[in-house]
Amino acid sequence: MTTVADVVGVMQQLAPTELAESWDNVGLLIGDRTARVERALTCLTVTPDVVAEAIEAQASLLVSHHPLPFDPLRSITADTTVGRMLLDLIRHEIAVYSAHTAFDSARAGINQHLAIGLDLQQIAPLTPSADDPEVGAGRFGDVSEGLTLRELAQRAKAFLGLDSARIVGPEDAAVSRVAVACGSGGSLLGAAVSAGCNGFVTGEATFHSCLSAAAADVGLVLLGHFASERFAMESLADYLGDQLAGIKVQPSRRDSDPFQRV
């Protein structure tokens, strides 16, 4: 019998909660550690659609990237979307485990997989942990052959199966060292510059971070927050299914990007 505690143990090995940023809310956020788990879903974000899917699938666990709840709550009522989701999850005895920045920074976490998918060489964290130089926020590495910013964007699109991506900088600019930060990675621009990067692949960045990158001659590839992280929820489902006996794990099919192109 697989329990919530068993899944927590596997997630702790994959993405220890000590790696999470101080502002984050990670770990087992809802649920009973002794509860049995036969079906689980992975998702990027817990939304009403994902909660409904979990209920319909009779899942007893959601392994999400983004935490729910994220901010402290003074009350849990059906008057708010978050409150309704929490009440539904608790009513149907569905536990929630969120890894977020711990999984971003882990040795085999999202940023590592993104860097590998871009075929970077000599991959290392942008801001390594003092305790372990192989873990930490972001990643950077060198390209094995000369690339332009446009070619870097095409490589990222091919890896993630995207139709489009946005760039900041001349599309024919040479790129030799690339930083990677899934999600909202603009805050790591300074670390990328310090590491000697002239390319930076991330999910999204603020307008002013884009201006700063252009001023520093760092070409940006903006994949979208959802696209830069969602791919890892697919592989995470496979990983958990392989590590845990007697449990069916599948990625949510209602986990979706809120942005649509028209």
Confidence at residue 92, expressed as pLDDT on a 0 to 100 scale: 97
Q: How far apart are CA 89 and CA 167, in angstroms?
A: 39
Specify whether the CB–CB gap between 35 and 95 falls below 8 A: yes
Q: Provide the residue type at 41 as one letter.
A: L
pLDDT in tens, 143-153: 988 899 999 99
Of 132, 119, 138, whose CA–CA distance to 21 is shortest? Answer: 138
CATH of the domain at 57: 3.40.1390.30
- Is residue 127 located within the same domain as residue 205? yes
Structural domain harbouring 151: 107-227
What ranges make up the beta strands (E) of 51-192?
A: 61-64, 95-98, 120-124, 127-128, 136-137, 139-148, 166-168, 174-184
Specify whether the CB–CB gap between 203 and 224 falls below 8 A: yes
- Is residue 86 located within the same domain as residue 154? no
Partners of residue 27 on adjacent β-strands: 98
Q: How far apart are CA 36 and CA 48, in angstroms?
A: 23
Using DSSP's 3-state secondary structure scheme, residue 10 falls into helix
Place of tokens 């666990």: 61
Confidence (pTM): 0.92
Report whether pLDDT(130) > 90. Answer: no
- Is residue 79 located within the same domain as residue 113? no
Confidence at residue 190, expressed as pLDDT on a 0 to 100 scale: 95
pLDDT in tens, 39-58: 999 999 999 999 999 999 99
Q: How many domains would you assign to the chain? A: 2
